[in-house]
Amino acid sequence: MAMASNWLYALAGGLRIGGGAALLLLLNGKLAGISGVAADVLRGSAGGGAWRIAFLLGLVTPALVFGLRDVEFAGGPRWLATSGLLVGLGTQIGSGCTSGHGVCGLSNLSARSLVATLTFMTAAMLTIFVVRHGLPV
C-alpha cells in the first residue's frame, strides 16, 4: 500500500507543479523557472515583480509549516549550504533549473531543455545507483 500512496503523492505533486506553471504563464505571461525567479530577487532586478517574492514564499512556506523543521540533513548545515551553492552554479551554467527546463522548457518543445532534462535525469539516476550500490570495481 505504501508504494501506491507514494505514486499517488508523486502524481498529485506533479499535477500541482504543472498546474501552477501553467497558471503563472496564462495569468502573468511568465515562466516558472525557480532559478531565474530567485536570481532576479537576489539581484534586486525584480522590478515590479512582487509576484516573484510571492512565488518564492509559496515554495518555502508549506515546508516550514508542515514540518521541514523536523528534517535532519545528513551532512549538516555546511553540506546543505555547499549543495545549495553547487545547485545555484549548475543553474547558471545550464541556463536554468529542473523546473525551468523540465516543466516549462519541455512544454514549449525546447530542444535545449530536452538536452538539459535528459542530462540531469541521467546524472540523478547514476548518482542514486552509485549511492545505493557503490561503483563497480
Give the domain extent around 120: 2-133
Q: How many domains does the chain have?
A: 1
pTM, entire model: 0.65
Answer whether residue 24 shows pLDDT above 80: yes
- Predicted confidence (pLDDT) per residue in 37-78, tens digit: 888 888 887 666 788 888 888 888 887 887 666 667 777 888
Q: Evaluate whether 22 touches 34 at the Cβ level (below 8 Å).
A: no
